[in-house]
Structure 1
Amino acid sequence: MSDPRIVVCGEALVDLVPSGGESFDARLGGGPFNVAVALGRLGSPVAFCSRISSDGFGERLLAELSASGVGTRTVQRGAEPTTLAVAGIGSDGGARYTFYADGTADRLVTDPGPLPGSVAAVSFGTLSLVLEPGAGVYAGLLRRCHDEGRVTVLDPNVRPALFPDAYRRRFADLLPWVDVVKVSDDDVQWLGHGVDGTTPEQWLECGVAAVVTTHGADGLSVRTRSLEVHVPGVSVLVADTIGAGDTVQAALLHRLERRELLRRSSVSGLDGGQWQDALEFAARAAAITISRPGADPPWAVDLTGG
């Protein structure tokens, strides 16, 4: 593959999804893994930075990254087991998770060292910024990438059953090094609670250039210090919502990369029309994901029809 323009950092795991009765299907996932796969399928030059187990699940994860066009030179390997997430699907198609993450490979990631000079943007999020010791490694890498002038994107992707209240302070402390925050309505509500709670308005005051929010069937919106843009969702028959937010993050990065706007100065100066274009593309991509069971993001041909 060509030199990566985007690096996605964080965990790769296996979702155990109910398949009827007491049976479960083992599906590849993890927020950052899904973002990387979606970017690769859309055609962006992307690499994945993580630590993946050498067990059978880990081999499947690595093979899927390669099959989706994702570079794996920054993937570390370890003998520790793969993290498991047991998903329960509600009547609305939404997923709830129970995690088995003690002593798993992705928690033991080490600093990857300097990233290639071709990298314009780096994406972070989900469990990788919560579970130590890997969380400290990723937080340090995020700060370093921002200081190097790369666009930094953060999706907290809050999992209330696993995220400690102290994460609200860690999230707030990272904001001066973040250019784009992507959240759901549920994330905004959780992050705003408690003594360390903060709001999207405060995130912008801390230096974040844009806050992109997913509103489920009601679509997507973005807020910057100078504008707000909302686009409606795309109506489809919902299989489940697993991977929908991850697809939004990937589609936004892909659209900006293809429009040659993946620079900090460009991201902070996007106008309403440019944001509408990116959000509408992301909404279409997410609609395809939720029409399929599990985290199965679209390929470029699914969006072009060619």
Structure 2
Amino acid sequence: MIVVAGEALIDLVPSPQTALPPAPDGGSPAPGGPLPALLPRRGGGPYNTAVALGRLGSPAAFCSRISTDAFGEALLAWLRAGGVDTSLVQRGSEPTTLAVADISPDGSAGYGFYADGTADRLFALPPALPAAVRALSLGTCSLVLEPGASAYESLLRREAGRGVFTALDPNVRPGLIPDPDAYRARFRSWLPDVALLKLSEEDALWLAGAGEGPGGGRDAVLAAAKEWLAAGPAAIVLTHGGDGLTVLTPGGGELTVPGERVTVVDTIGAGDTVNAALLHRLDAHDALSRTAVAALGTEDWHDILRFAARAAAVTCSRAGAEPPFAAEVAA
């Protein structure tokens, strides 16, 4: 079983039918006009990852704290419909976190969060996970917002210490991080307990504290990733949006596969789908351990990354975080 731990929330996404057109000069719409309707969508990076694992056919469980409000009930129902085990979910009467999405013309999404006093922030460290757990995936807001962040961090360290394969996707939300340097130091402290680190090129630049200088972005990312590899991960996977994915391994291995060409509706949940697809395909290669990851060859990684690229493309081809089922990726 693969356990995904972290926040579940509601994304409020502008309805395509009511989204405001750009101004005549191509800029933002003029103020004072009608506002677009916002559609509630189930979301949260870890939540999306758990749903994607279930749809791909991996035995998966979700570990979080979810509100008892109507949104919370809807979040739980969707997990169960996807075949995800919810026995590790804690409940609370506090409201569900809301994330208001702002969709750019290219389909990329930015978020504003309403997270004060919400249920998922009060996550408490659970007892040891079941013996059947082979991997633990964490990331996003849950590792930023206290007091839950410290509980998730303790879960990461405890389970890594007993040999569980751990995966981390920081999925950085700068607006939630009051002290970037402190968070960067905290991120580096997690690396000895992380077996698989997956992050976007943009997140890697932010975590490295590097600017986008002319032509220097990719070089800065690779330099930082090599430093992070030396701290502990068995592999790092970098995502480059539509340009594909790269895996780096401690022995100096590096492989890039191109992205799948698709008409992008939006990119919501694409990175979370990559998380799930990587874990699902690593499991298919019987590689949910540091030793097994180290033994993977170029052909193995090519298969794993291509699978993740296909899965992400399906998610990008439809609105909201709607990860694919296994048959859709195979097709």
Give me the whole-angstrom Cα distance separating, in 2, the residues matched to 1:304 and 1:92: 26
**Which stretch shows the higher mean deviation, 265-274 or 152-161?**
265-274
Which among 67, 73, 91 is matched to residue 105 of structure 2? 91
The structural deviation recorded for 1:219 is 0.4
Query: What is the rounded CA distance, in whole Å, between the counterparts of 1:142 and 1:170 in structure 2?
Result: 13
Matched, 1:11 2:25: no
Q: Give the structure 2 partner of residue 184 of structure 1.
A: 200
What corresponds to 1:240 in structure 2? 266
Find 2:132's aligned residue among 114, 118, 129.
118
Verify the 8 A CA contact 1:149 1:264 in the aligned structure 2.
Answer: no
Higher mean C-alpha displacement, 149-158 vs 262-271:
262-271
Shift of 1:67: 0.3
- Return the letter of the residue paired with 2:242: A
**Alignment match of 2:168 (pick from 142, 146, 154):** 154
Q: Which runs of no fewer than 5 residues in structure 2 stay unpaired?
A: 20-35, 211-220
Aligned to 2:213: none
Is residue 107 of structure 1 aligned with residue 102 of structure 2? no
The residue aligned with 1:217 is 242
| Matches of 2:234 and 2:270, distance apart in 1 | 23
SS at match of 1:16: strand
Task: Measure how far apart 1:257 and its partner are.
Answer: 1.1
Deviations 1:159-209 (A, max 9, x none): 111123121111011111111110001101100117xx9921111110111
Q: Secondary structure at the match of 1:157?
A: coil
CA distance in 1, matches of 2:69, 2:294: 42
2:25 aligned partner: none
Q: TM-score w.r.t. structure 2 length?
A: 0.88
Write the distance in 2 (CA, Å) between the matches of 1:271 and 1:143: 28
1:302 shift after superposition: 1.1
> Within 2, Cα distance between the matches of 1:129 and 1:285?
25
- Partner SS state of residue 64, structure 2: strand
Q: Secondary structure at the match of 1:70?
A: coil
3-state secondary structure, aligned to 1:276: helix
- 1:269-288 correspondence runs (5 A): 269-288=295-314
Match of 1:193 in 2: 209
Give yes or no for contact 1:150–1:264 (8 Å, CA) kept in 2. Answer: no
**Corresponding letter in the other structure for 1:233:** G
Residues of 1 paired with 2:186 and 2:107: CA distance?
A: 30
Q: Give the distance between the partners of 2:317 and 2:172, measured in 1 at CA.
A: 23
Alpha-carbon separation, structure 1, partners of 2:102 and 2:201? 20
Question: Which amino acid in the other structure matches residue 16 of structure 1?
Answer: L
Aligned to 2:184: 168
After superposition, the C-alpha distances for 1:71-96 in whole angstroms (9 at most, x for unaligned) are 00000010000000000001111000
Per the alignment, residue 37 of structure 1 pairs with 51
CA distance in 2, matches of 1:293, 1:60: 18
**Which region of structure 1 is more displaced relative to structure 2, 98-107 or 16-25?**
16-25
2:24 maps to which residue? none
Report how far residue 262 of structure 1 moved. Answer: 1.3
What is the rounded CA distance, in whole Å, between the counterparts of 1:49 and 1:80 in structure 2? 17
Alignment of 1:251 onto 2:277: yes
Whole-Å separation in 2 of the counterparts to 1:84 and 1:268: 39
The secondary structure found in structure 2 opposite 1:161 is helix
The question of 1:262 aligning with 2:288 is answered yes
Match of 2:188, SS state, is: helix
- Using structure 1 for the length normalisation, give the TM-score: 0.96
The residue matched to 1:199 in structure 2 has which SS?
A: helix
1:87-112 C-alpha deviation (Å, 9 max, x unpaired):
00011110000000001000001111
SS at match of 1:297: coil
Q: Which residue of 2 aligns with 1:205?
A: 230
Name the counterpart of 2:327: 301
Runs of 4+ in 1 over 3 A off after TM superposition: none
Q: CA deviation digits over 1:246-301, x for unaligned, max 9?
A: 00010010011122221221023222111111000000000000000000000112
Q: Which amino acid aligns with 1:292?
A: R
Whichever residue aligns with residue 58 of structure 1, its letter is: G
- 1:207-238: CA deviation from partner (whole Å, max 9, x where unpaired): 11111010011001100112001000000000
Separation (CA, whole Å) in 2 of partners of 1:271 and 1:18: 43
1:230 aligns with 2:250: no
Task: Flag structure 1 segments of 5+ consecutive residues without an equivalent.
Answer: none
Q: Which amino acid aligns with 1:85?
A: A
